[in-house]
Amino acid sequence: MFRPSPSVLDAVGTLVRLGLAAVWLVSGFAKISDSGQTYLAVKAYDVLPDALLHPVATALPLLELALGAFLLLGLATRRVGVASAVLLAVFIAGVAQSWARGLTIDCGCFGGGGQVEAGQTQYPQEIARDVGFLVLACWLIVRPATRFALDRWLHAGAPQVETEKERI
């Protein structure tokens, strides 16, 4: 069976890591820059009690930005991969329950969100997209080694850092 070399897997892993970082940074930024809409989007899922809406709507964009920042730096990649997978599973569950209950909402995944007209829902696409992101997160859980990552620098000794600097 064909088995890609570690350096190829490292390169793919790097793209996966940076891709997922971009997803979190873009979605987190979209949410934090329209805090009113984010509140309405969280509310539209009709899952949380009123007292939790405000804290969750405030914390969610920050969590996404933090995950994105860690992935961008390649810090604690495996743990951040686990956290990403958990958060994505929560999102998928949220969209699925809205679909199952016949709510008509936009997921608000990348900003926006809230109630929409009955014909305007896109539940299958939203779930498929989140599953795609979940695959990225799972890659990083299974194989967190990537290039240009702080993790690598942390686990390496001084000589390796020097050679990396020379390469740059």
The residue ranges that bind other proteins (CB under 8 A) are 32, 35-40, 43, 50, 53-54, 58, 61-62, 65-66, 69-70, 75-76, 150, 153-155, 157-158, 161
Could you give the dihedral angle defined by the CA atoms of residues 114, 117, 122 and 126, in that order, rounded to the nearest 10 degrees?
0
Nearest residue (CB) to other proteins, 66 versus 138: 66
Whichever of 79 and 101 has its CB closer to other proteins, that residue is: 79
Distance between CA atoms of residues 93 and 114, nearest Å: 17
């992935």: which residue's tokens?
A: 71
Q: Output the six-digit token pair for 77.
A: 């990649």
- Alpha carbon distance 73, 150 (integer Å): 6
In terms of CB distance, is 135 or 156 closer to other proteins? 156
Distance CA(108)–CA(126), nearest Å, equals 10
Question: Least CB distance from residue 8 to other proteins, whole Å?
Answer: 27
Q: For residue 52, what is the enclosing H or E element?
A: helix 50-73
CB closer to other proteins, 18 vs 65:
65
* Shortest Å distance, C-beta 145 to other proteins: 16
Give the contacts of 122 (CB within 8 A, at least 6 positions apart).
106, 107
Q: CB of residue 135 vs other proteins: minimum separation in angstroms?
A: 26
In the bound complex, what is the minimum distance in angstroms from residue 40's beta carbon to other proteins? 4
